[in-house]
Amino acid sequence: MPYDLLIKGGHIYDGSGLPSYTGDVAVEAGRIVELGRLSGGARRVIQADGLAVAPGFIDFHTHLDAQLLWDPIATSSCWHGITTVIPGNCGLTLAPCRPQDREGILGSFVRVEAMPLKVLREAVNWEWETFAEYLNRLDRRLGVNVAALVGHCALRQFVMGEEATERAARPGETERMKEILRESVRAGAIGFSTNQNPVHMRADGKPIASRLATDEEILELGSVLGELNKGSIQISQGTLGVSLPAEQGVNFFSRLAARSGRPVIWQAIAHRWDQPDLWRWLLDMAQETLATGVPSYPLCNARLFNNRFNLKNAQVFDDLPTWKEILFKPVEERLRIFRDAQVRQKLRYEAVEEKRPSRFSRRWDLVYMIKAATPKNKSLEGKSVDEIARTQGKDVIDAFLDLSLEENLETLFQTSSNNGDENAVAEILKSPFTLVGQSDAGAHLIYDAGYGYATRFLGYWIRERKVMSLEEGVRKLTFMVASIFGLHDRGLIRPRMAADLVLFDPSTVRECEPEMVNDLPGGEKRLVQKAAGVKMTVVNGEPLTEDGEHTSALPGQVLGRSGRVIP
């Protein structure tokens, strides 16, 4: 009998980290059936000479919850070799949700993940109330696979209504949340996510609901996964060392993993200019925790977190109280306040002189003006604020605010507080304990596009910087993620495994520069990011993309819906 698909002569990086080898991969009914030198016929044969054949990459940190409703192939992720996405991170999901709570739920995505409310209102049509119903809706039309976490904010709002953003839960309410979580996991959720980041607010200025949870509530919810012996826990409590003492955070993550017995994925290890050695301490802590047998894993990123902003939409200054207060005011008022010399004095203190840790680096030599809003200032594009200030003989705050005011707050800047020191990033990536990802795909649509973390990792860090072997790199993007998130039939090229594959050219694979397009519902704009060197992705045995183009197939599935993974 002919195979459905035969990939011939590729270099197989099977996800285990073992040495790669030249061979063929045969697929039938969505599964890998044979490996080696195969001569049987196939409905489709793909010559993969010179290409790497690897398990499809699993993007475990996305906010594609809404986008998947109108974009079943999950652009731009699918262009980077991603075959499975995990939405529902950071406590945010669109289910469960009752009709009266819809605005509150959307409001969390608007501010925390910077998605336009107009787009969400138009495109999210609420054909569900429970998590099971949401998964059913997704499953009707998917190009990539989806394995979804349930968000703590939605659980709280579902049980407590608006009071979820105001107070701790009463014992009966925690019990009710546990019941809903139990139902959701039985229906196919692959775990739950929670978020106590003190700067995360809804569009109406209220804290997101999961911030009001006590430690005990989080531990109780984690215990549900322990009881079901299924699911992972994603947790963010803000920037470690800024939002809370790093030790307090890491200890709590370990407690959560120890008490639930389930894998905890915590956010995050990155290099930061304000505490340049913290990453090393966090890596040591991760190693110590894992050495005690507790499954608690840090995530990290292969890229700079670039933040593009203007003073109409900036969130980079949210740790600085005077800045934050002004940036929550109407634009007209901001224009007035930013002119005030006394206010500027305070702004200067917080953003230049103060030593308190902050996610904003206070490195004005790393804040670049990337797009002028008026022709007059075009010549300043690409220069840092520090450089502009020096040539103008001003201090940085005056230069920054004068320029923004002159352009009605539309001057576009870019900065990154994270991962500026590449030697540190190399050490973080190399650690056997770190999960490489955190694309935030589907979020902060106009500030930054992190879709290409995997192609960045393969092209820059592995090919050019040689931080590890390609075998090890592929393992980190596939088998390691699948194992920690319980996707036990993915992440390896082996007979009986799902045929999720990526074919790429190791000598050319890389991420492209993000570009602005107007393809959101209603014609709203967002950044997309293409990749080079990715030849093909295969999802459940069917090609999904070829040379960056969608094949028109929709072979994706909601994963995790059955306790029995292998049929």
CB 196 → Zn ion: shortest distance, Å? Answer: 13
418: contact with Zn ion by CB under 5 A: no
Q: Which is nearer to Zn ion, 191 or 541 (CB)?
A: 191
Q: Which is nearer to Zn ion, 90 or 534 (CB)?
A: 90
Q: Which is nearer to Zn ion, 257 or 299 (CB)?
A: 299
The one among 74, 90, 177, 388 contacting Zn ion by CB under 5 A: 90
CB 444 → Zn ion: shortest distance, Å? Answer: 9
146 Cβ contact list (under 8 Å, min separation 6) = 64, 68, 84, 85, 86, 87, 138, 556, 557, 558, 559
112: contact with Zn ion by CB under 5 A: no
CB 318 → Zn ion: shortest distance, Å? Answer: 15
> How much is the CA Rg of the chain, to the nearest whole Å?
23
Q: Which is nearer to Zn ion, 249 or 506 (CB)?
A: 249
Residue indicated by tokens 């200067």: 348
Q: Tell me if 449 sits within 8 A of 528, measured CB to CB.
A: yes
Q: Tell me if 240 sits within 8 A of 246, measured CB to CB.
A: yes
Report angle CA 363, 61, 498 to the nearest 5 degrees.
145
- In this chain, which stretch among 84-92, 294-302, 304-312, 514-522 interacts with Zn ion, using CB under 5 A? 84-92
Q: Write out the binding residues for Zn ion, residues 519-548 only, by CB under 5 A.
A: none
CB atoms inside a 10 Å sphere around CB 241? 18
CB 142 → Zn ion: shortest distance, Å? Answer: 21
Report angle CA 433, 82, 467 to the nearest 5 degrees.
40
Cβ-proximal residue to Zn ion, closest one:
90
The span from the CA of 442 to the CA of 192, in Å, is 19
Q: Which is nearer to Zn ion, 6 or 105 (CB)?
A: 105
Q: Which is nearer to Zn ion, 234 or 540 (CB)?
A: 234
The span from the CA of 237 to the CA of 199, in Å, is 10
Q: Which amino acid is at 555?
A: P
CB 89 → Zn ion: shortest distance, Å? Answer: 4
CB 167 → Zn ion: shortest distance, Å? Answer: 25
509: contact with Zn ion by CB under 5 A: no
- In this chain, which stretch among 90-98, 166-174, 341-349, 448-456 interacts with Zn ion, using CB under 5 A? 90-98
Q: How far is CA 308 from CA 311, 368, 458, 513, 527, in A?
A: 10, 9, 25, 14, 11
Strands (E), 313-428: 368-371, 412-415
The one among 76, 83, 89, 210 contacting Zn ion by CB under 5 A: 89
The span from the CA of 67 to the CA of 120, in Å, is 9
The span from the CA of 331 to the CA of 311, in Å, is 9
Q: Write out the binding residues for Zn ion, residues 22-41 only, by CB under 5 A.
A: none
- In this chain, which stretch among 81-89, 156-164, 217-225, 344-352 interacts with Zn ion, using CB under 5 A? 81-89
CB 91 → Zn ion: shortest distance, Å? Answer: 9
114: contact with Zn ion by CB under 5 A: no
Residue 219 dihedral angles phi and psi, to the nearest 5°: -65, -40
- In this chain, which stretch among 88-96, 252-260, 375-383, 553-561 interacts with Zn ion, using CB under 5 A? 88-96
Q: How far is CA 193 from CA 32, 130, 163, 359, 443, in A?
A: 32, 16, 20, 22, 16
- In this chain, which stretch among 10-18, 87-95, 127-135, 525-533 interacts with Zn ion, using CB under 5 A? 87-95
Task: Give the bridge partners for 526, in sequence order.
Answer: 517
CB atoms inside a 10 Å sphere around CB 391? 10
Token reading at 44: 């489709």
- In this chain, which stretch among 73-81, 89-97, 185-193, 212-220 interacts with Zn ion, using CB under 5 A? 89-97
Number of residues that bind Zn ion (CB under 5 A): 2
- In this chain, which stretch among 74-82, 83-91, 340-348, 503-511 interacts with Zn ion, using CB under 5 A? 83-91
Q: How far is CA 93 from CA 136, 142, 203, in A?
A: 15, 18, 15
Q: Which is nearer to Zn ion, 89 or 254 (CB)?
A: 89
CB 440 → Zn ion: shortest distance, Å? Answer: 5
- In this chain, which stretch among 85-93, 141-149, 336-344, 495-503 interacts with Zn ion, using CB under 5 A? 85-93
Q: Which is nearer to Zn ion, 440 or 471 (CB)?
A: 440
Q: Which is nearer to Zn ion, 148 or 367 (CB)?
A: 148
Q: Which is nearer to Zn ion, 90 or 218 (CB)?
A: 90
CB 141 → Zn ion: shortest distance, Å? Answer: 24
The span from the CA of 110 to the CA of 241, in Å, is 26
Q: Which residues bind Zn ion (CB under 5 A)?
A: 89-90
